[in-house]
Amino acid sequence: MPPKLVLASTSPYRRELLGRLQMPFEAVAPETDETALPGESPVATAQRLAEAKARAVAGRFPDALIIGSDQVAYVAGGSQRFGKPGTRENAIVQLRSMSGKAVVFHTGLCLLNAATGRTHIRGIPTEVRFRELSDAEIHRYVDKEDALNCAGSARSEGLGIALLEYLRGDDPNALVGLPLIALAEMLRAEGVELP
């Protein structure tokens, strides 16, 4: 019998993505502080938090394969980061800041085998270029789409796609928050049978 699969996330987007693999799983909330460490790069933050989320629930599921994922958005070549806006006003500020810029959405992924302690950790970047956005476009967008719990305030799988010039990356699912190509590879490495 394959080990239990646990998603250490309350994100409805990650749950929907993991469901595409057609495997039973349980989603649980990890209790983790998502604050970046002083001087920590966005890439390191995403990967550290992905592992921290998986480890946060390992004690409750000692025989499970546990998936942790985290995403950090930042201006390409810069230091400005974008988290979940939380409020309409913050979303407007974020979208103004990203207008006309390339933004990297770096998704950290961890698969932890709680029984053996073995971890697989990867980072999957997706570069997104936002169009030059007018204030009217930004306001229309935030009025129509609830993206307050999405890093960078834009849901590419929804209306947010209209804000973009392009997106580049190895896995379109990474931008939504769970890189399924890398996850499938990790699961196979732990003996899970996938097509």
Positions annotated as catalytic residues are 70
Name the helix (H) or strand (E) containing 186.
helix 180-189
Contact predicate 26/5, CB 8 Å: yes
* Closest to 5 (Cα-Cα) out of 22, 26, 20, 21: 26
* Closest to 169 (Cα-Cα) out of 106, 123, 127, 109: 127
**Tokens 């590879």 identify what position?**
185
Burial letters 11-38, b for 16+ CB under 10 A, else e: bebbeebbeebeeebebbebebeeebee
State the burial class of residue 139 (Cβ atoms within 10 Å of its Cβ: 0-12, 13-18, 19+). middle
**β-pairing verdict for 65-75 and 26-28:** unpaired
